[in-house]
Amino acid sequence: MADGDHRVVVIGGGFGGLRAVRQLASAPVQITLVDRRNFHLFQPLSYQVATGALPPSEVAYPLRALFKRDRNVTVLLADVTGVDLEARRVALADVSAGETPPDPLEYDTLIVAAGSSYSYFGHEEWREHAAEVKSLESAVTVRSRLLSAFERAEMIDDREERRAQLTFVVVGGGPTGVEMAGQIAELARDTLRGDFRRIDPTGARVLLVETADRLLTTFPESLSAKAARSLERIGVTPTLNRTVVGMDAESVTLQAPDGSSERIAARTVVWAAGVRASGLAGMLGEAAGADIDRAGRVTIEPDLTLPGHPEVMVLGDMAAVRKPEGGVQQLPGVAPVAIQQGSYAGRSVRRRLRGETVSPFRYVDKGNVATIGRGRAVAEVGFLRLSGLPAWLVWFGVHIFYLIGFQNRLLVLMEWTFSFITHGRSSRLIVDTPAEHEPPT
């Protein structure tokens, strides 16, 4: 095969796929990046879109703009419907509702980094009532629901109904749930204070529901306790040892370990409880005869390749990695894992093209960080355990550093600085106007 004839198909423009393409952009290969969206989403900040702290454009960046100077990179806006491992071919569907499906893509190396979605634990009917913030579209939906709740409460005289409108339930006590609950509380107590005439937004209830006995279970217990106390100080009520067992448009039902249940009247629920791998993981696993775990992740080899198919690599939330010494490693579904695996995948392709051996993937844990609110966060960096403003500054720096695009870094830096000083939020827009109230055409 001549230089430049090696065809690499990368599925997914998230952290893993993006980093793999960047590693290979200067290599003698032809790269095709496939994604159902035309932008890369900086997912760790999507909850800030959901709470009006940042506009969508500042946490997303067009994929074509990222690679416009890399002549060996082609970006396709399409959905992957299947992978033929024997023929080394990827089947596509046109996401723009075209009648003619795109031609299949042939590959010599396939890198699959399609990510995951939130799992509703077998209750897909809850998805209608509890939106999540994993995608940009859903984050904008949550923003509209949150702001609309305050608007509805302003028009209601009935005290019980007003209380239900101003009760917000966040399900899931991991970093996203903690960050989301803290932002809702600050939105109510800081940003919206004084904006209404008939209601007092500072009286809003924010409940953070977690099945375990503490928040942030991947953090040390001392930091979990500090996070809980910080949340309580800004008006969040951590509701621990409770499992969601029911949900409808008007309420959430929680169950305690002793079997007792409680129905909470709440009109706005945000889901941040658990994830399930993209369906492509199960599809690849079945085709290759690989193990698939309960979260839908396919078990891959220590070098991130699909068992029996060294030309296919699976990254990020989709995969559970087999250890060289035996057993399976469940890596956290966070951006640093995907970034490191994407870099490793790109280097692996380069090494194989040069006929060199590839060492097993080793994840380097650089720590955990979660923000709680303005000037409040917890962080574990090596042996350091930080909380309060020092941890928040670490969180601030890490997110600015990893944000894609200089313009976005500058804009977000300015937004956060302005918000820190003024307690304001620039993107408090309700954009999904109900159909019956749409202006006439």
Q: Are 69 and 63 in contact (CB under 8 A)?
A: no
Please indicate, yes or no, whether residues 147 and 249 belong to a single structural domain of this protein.
yes
Q: What band does 98 get if pLDDT is binned at 50, 70 and 90?
A: low
Please indicate, yes or no, whether residues 267 and 132 belong to a single structural domain of this protein.
yes
CA–CA separation, 427 and 143 (whole Å): 9
Task: Report yes or no on 310 lying in a domain.
Answer: yes
Residue 127: both structure tokens together: 């998805």
* Structure confidence at residue 24 (pLDDT): 97
Please indicate, yes or no, whether residues 266 and 293 belong to a single structural domain of this protein.
no
φ/ψ of 279, rounded to 5, equals -60, -20
Nearest to 66 by CA among 431, 403, 429: 403
63 three-class SS: helix
Please indicate, yes or no, whether residues 259 and 321 belong to a single structural domain of this protein.
no
Please indicate, yes or no, whether residues 215 and 254 belong to a single structural domain of this protein.
yes
| Residue 435 DSSP label | G
- Examine the fold and report which residue of 223, 241, 273 is the final residue of a domain before the chain moves on: 273
Q: Are 378 and 227 in contact (CB under 8 A)?
A: yes
Catalytic residues: 179
Task: Report yes or no on 359 lying in a domain.
Answer: no
Please indicate, yes or no, whether residues 112 and 241 belong to a single structural domain of this protein.
no
Residue 361: how many CB atoms within 10 A of its CB?
Answer: 23
The residues, ordered by sequence, that sit 6+ positions from 423 with a Cβ below 8 Å of its Cβ are 186, 190, 191, 374
Angle, CA of 409, 411 and 417, to the nearest 5°: 100
Task: Report yes or no on 42 lying in a domain.
Answer: no
pLDDT reading at 440 higher than 50? no
Q: How many domains does the chain have?
A: 2
Strand pairing class (251-255; 261-265): antiparallel
The residues, ordered by sequence, that sit 6+ positions from 1 with a Cβ below 8 Å of its Cβ are 108
Residue 310: both structure tokens together: 């060294």
Residue whose pair of structure tokens reads 């095709």 in the numeric block: 32
Please indicate, yes or no, whether residues 130 and 269 belong to a single structural domain of this protein.
yes
pLDDT reading at 402 higher than 80? yes
Whole-angstrom CA distances from 29 to 24, 168, 303, 395 are 7, 50, 20, 36
Task: Report yes or no on 434 lying in a domain.
Answer: no
pTM of the complete model beyond 0.85: yes
Q: Domain residues for 318?
A: 6-36+78-118+276-353
CA–CA separation, 42 and 62 (whole Å): 11
Amino acid at 436: E
pLDDT reading at 435 higher than 60? no
Please indicate, yes or no, whether residues 109 and 247 belong to a single structural domain of this protein.
no
Task: Report yes or no on 427 lying in a domain.
Answer: no
Please indicate, yes or no, whether residues 282 and 269 belong to a single structural domain of this protein.
no
First-last CA distance in the chain:
58
- Examine the fold and report which residue of 217, 241, 273 is the final residue of a domain before the chain moves on: 273
Q: Are 53 and 44 in contact (CB under 8 A)?
A: no
The residues, ordered by sequence, that sit 6+ positions from 85 with a Cβ below 8 Å of its Cβ are 284, 287, 288, 306, 309, 312
CA–CA separation, 383 and 381 (whole Å): 6
Please indicate, yes or no, whether residues 157 and 255 belong to a single structural domain of this protein.
yes
pLDDT tens digit string along 9-59?
999 999 999 999 999 999 999 999 999 999 999 999 999 999 999 999 999
* Structure confidence at residue 3 (pLDDT): 59
Q: What band does 93 get if pLDDT is binned at 50, 70 and 90?
A: very high
Task: Report yes or no on 441 lying in a domain.
Answer: no
CATH code assigned at 232: 3.50.50.100
CATH code assigned at 85: 3.50.50.60
Task: Report yes or no on 390 lying in a domain.
Answer: no
Please indicate, yes or no, whether residues 264 and 211 belong to a single structural domain of this protein.
yes
E strand or H helix that includes residue 201: none
CA–CA separation, 133 and 147 (whole Å): 15
CA–CA separation, 317 and 307 (whole Å): 17
CA–CA separation, 278 and 83 (whole Å): 14
Residue 19: both structure tokens together: 């980093």
pLDDT tens digit string along 152-211?
999 999 999 999 999 999 999 999 999 999 999 999 999 999 899 999 999 999 999 999
Average pLDDT of the chain is: 92
Q: What does the pLDDT average to over 406-413?
A: 84
E strand or H helix that includes residue 37: none
Q: Quote helix, strand, coil % in the chain, to nearest 5.
A: 35, 25, 40
pLDDT tens digit string along 237-282?
999 999 999 999 999 999 999 999 999 999 999 999 988 999 999 9
Q: Are 284 and 307 in contact (CB under 8 A)?
A: no
- Examine the fold and report which residue of 223, 246, 273 is the final residue of a domain before the chain moves on: 273
Please indicate, yes or no, whether residues 147 and 251 belong to a single structural domain of this protein.
yes
Residue 326: both structure tokens together: 């035996």
CA–CA separation, 114 and 35 (whole Å): 8
Residue 365: both structure tokens together: 């844990």
Task: Report yes or no on 381 lying in a domain.
Answer: no
